[in-house]
Each structure stands twice: as C-alpha cells, then as structure tokens.
C-alpha cells in the first residue's frame, strides 16, 4: 500500500538533494536549512515532538541569522530561454498539466471503478498521493521531452527555492500555528464573542461572520489552513453544523475558499504575494495584491451566498 508517508519521503529526498548541492557550492547556511527540513520530512513521524520542535528552532536560527543566500547555479541564458519559448510555445505547459490531470482523473478512477478495490492507496489520502505521483510523472515527461542535463531539474529547483528562502515553508509553519491556536482555545473564545453579538436564529448572519472571519484571520495569519481550525471551532462546528444543522462538507470546503480570499489580500501570505513580486522584480512590492483585490472581494461575497444556499437551503 502506498501511504501518506511516501509523500513525506519524496519531499524529504528533494530537500536532501538541494542540501547536498548547497554543500557542493559551500553555501553552509542553505545546506543546513534544507538538510534540517529534509530531516523533518524523513524522520518527523518517527521522532518525538520535542525533537521536531528543536529542528524547527534550528531552522529559525539559521534563517533569522541571515544564513540563507541566493544560489546561482549554471543555467540557460535569457537569449536561450527566449529561443526555447519561441520554438515550443504554449506546449511548455504540458508537463505542468500532467499534475492536476493525474490527481483529478486518478482520484475519480480510483473511487468509482474497481481499481479502488485493490487498496493500493491509503484511505482518504488518494488525491494527495496521486498529486505526488503526478509531480513525478510531469518531471519524467519534461526530462524525456526536453532532454536537459541530468541535474538541471534539481539545480533549477534549488535556484527557485533559494530565491524564495524561508518563505517557502511559511504555509507549513502557519498551518501548525492554526493547530496551536485551536488547542489553546482561541476558537472557543471567539465563538463566545460571536454568540453574544449574532442574534439567535440568524443563520445568514452567522454564515457571513464565519466567512468574513475566515478571510480576516487568513489576512492576519497568512494562511487559510491556519485560520480554519480557529473559525471551525468558534463558529463552523458549534453553530453552523451542530446548532443549525448545516452541511459540513459545504461549510468546510467553501469556508476554505473564503479564507483563500484573504490570502489574495495579505502580505503575510509571502510565498503567494511578496515572493512573486520579488522574483518578477516588480517596483511595487504589493503590486500582486493590488491586482487581486478586484477578484478577492466579489469572490468572498459569492462564497457567503454559496455557503448559505448550499449548506442550508439545498441541504434541508
């Protein structure tokens, strides 16, 4: 059986390779940071919480001390890239399309055909595992098609990752922060405050507060996965699901989309909004966010309506 642990091993192997390439270039800070991250993926499930915490603190020390620097591996020149893009055109996107195709089509085939009876994938992890397999398939297709040097994918991945730096793991850190907040009882406190403000029996207003809270907490924390445990414990589960009998699938799925609207609006989501501006050398550091406001706000309103209609009117 292919389990979730296989994805950890795949990610850990990639980070370990980047660490080795950094050692070769004598970028000791980068090597230490990516090696520690590789260790967390490869060994995290087999060591204590204390050891995982120490790994994180060591990574914080390296990043906080300015140990991460941009790498400059050998790559194609801008002129060569221009020629390749002109020759291949939009076909360059074909390997990237393999990833979602594998995840979506593979999940449907696994769940709705006899293939699922084989028990090949860990239960409820099928999509994530197929997503990882899609990445491997896309990489294999790109190598077979474009025939780059053997280490080119690793070198280009390292160049991009070193350009992003510590922000590359910000979603993972913030998602963990959301779990910490939930265990600390922040959700219950917010739920108590919301219960005092929202009129009894006002389902639509409760939905609006939940969706707006998801967006607001995502703006503050930079990650919808960090906001969800808090808002689910505060409003989603006790009020929308248990008290009003809403459809939990709709509330959870569309509630996350409301959080993603907050992602479009915040510099805290550095890997989505600040890093692209830096990689593209934009003069306006918040230029990406400014372009997304016109999408985020109307989409947030639509999410509120969808939660209310889908979770309550159609459900009941």
Q: How confident is the model over 230-287, as pLDDT tens digits? A: 999 999 999 999 999 999 999 999 999 999 999 999 988 877 887 787 777 788 888 9
**Does the pLDDT of residue 143 top 80, yes or no?**
yes
Between 91 and 188, residue with greater pLDDT: 91
Between 181 and 98, residue with greater pLDDT: 98
Percentage above 90 pLDDT, the chain: 58
Q: Please tell me the predicted confidence (pLDDT) of residue 78.
A: 80
Residue-wise pLDDT for 81-126, tens only, equals 888 888 888 998 899 999 999 999 999 999 899 988 888 999 888 9
Q: Please tell me the predicted confidence (pLDDT) of residue 250.
A: 95
Residues 6+ apart with CB under 8 A from 185: none
Q: Please tell me the predicted confidence (pLDDT) of residue 106.
A: 94
The number of beta carbons lying within 10 Å of the beta carbon of residue 258 is 30
Q: Please tell me the predicted confidence (pLDDT) of residue 39.
A: 96
Percentage above 70 pLDDT, the chain: 99
Q: Please tell me the predicted confidence (pLDDT) of residue 223.
A: 85
**Does the pLDDT of residue 176 top 90, yes or no?**
no
Q: What is the mean pLDDT of residues 286-297?
A: 94
Where residue 89 falls (left for φ over 0; alpha for ψ -120 to 50; beta otherwise) is left
**Does the pLDDT of residue 128 top 80, yes or no?**
yes
Between 81 and 22, residue with greater pLDDT: 22
Q: Please tell me the predicted confidence (pLDDT) of residue 137.
A: 96
Q: What are phi and psi of 172, to 5 degrees?
A: -65, -45
**Does the pLDDT of residue 171 top 80, yes or no?**
no
**Paired tokens of 39:** 């260790």
Residue-wise pLDDT for 193-223, tens only, equals 887 888 888 999 999 999 999 999 999 888 8
Q: Please tell me the predicted confidence (pLDDT) of residue 238.
A: 93
Between 270 and 313, residue with greater pLDDT: 313
Q: Please tell me the predicted confidence (pLDDT) of residue 270.
A: 77
- Mean pLDDT in the chain? 90
Q: What is the mean pLDDT of residues 127-149?
A: 93
């Amino acid at each position: 059986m292919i389990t979730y642990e296989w994805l950890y091993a795949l990610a850990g192997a990639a980070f370990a390779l980047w660490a080795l390439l950094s050692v070769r270039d004598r970028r000791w800070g980068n090597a230490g940071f990516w090696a520690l991250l590789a260790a967390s993926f490869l060994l995290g499930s087999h060591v204590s919480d204390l050891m995982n915490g120490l790994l994180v603190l060591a990574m914080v020390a390296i990043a906080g001390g300015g140990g991460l620097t941009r790498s400059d591996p050998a790559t194609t020149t801008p002129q060569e890239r221009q020629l390749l893009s002109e020759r291949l055109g939009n076909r360059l996107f074909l390997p990237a399309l393999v990833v979602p195709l594998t995840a979506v089509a593979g999940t449907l085939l696994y769940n709705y055909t006899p293939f699922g009876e084989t028990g090949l994938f860990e239960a409820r992890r099928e999509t994530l595992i197929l997503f990882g397999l899609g990445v491997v398939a896309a990489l294999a297709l790109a190598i077979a098609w474009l025939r780059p040097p053997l280490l080119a994918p690793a070198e280009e991945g390292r160049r991009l990752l070193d350009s992003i730096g510590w922000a590359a793991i910000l979603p993972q850190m913030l998602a963990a922060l959301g779990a910490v907040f939930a265990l600390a009882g922040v959700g219950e406190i917010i739920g108590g405050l919301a219960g005092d403000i929202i009129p009894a029996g006002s389902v639509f207003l409760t939905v609006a507060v939940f969706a707006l809270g998801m967006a607001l907490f995502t703006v503050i924390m930079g990650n919808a996965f960090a906001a969800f445990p808090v808002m689910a414990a505060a409003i989603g589960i006790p009020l929308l699901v248990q008290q009003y009998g809403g459809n939990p699938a709709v509330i959870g799925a569309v509630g996350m989309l409301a959080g993603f609207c907050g992602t479009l609006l915040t510099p805290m989501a550095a890997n989505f909004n600040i890093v692209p501006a830096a990689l593209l050398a934009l003069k306006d550091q918040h230029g990406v966010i400014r372009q997304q406001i016109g999408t985020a706000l109307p989409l947030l309103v639509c999410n509120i309506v969808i939660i209310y209609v889908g979770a309550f009117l159609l459900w009941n």
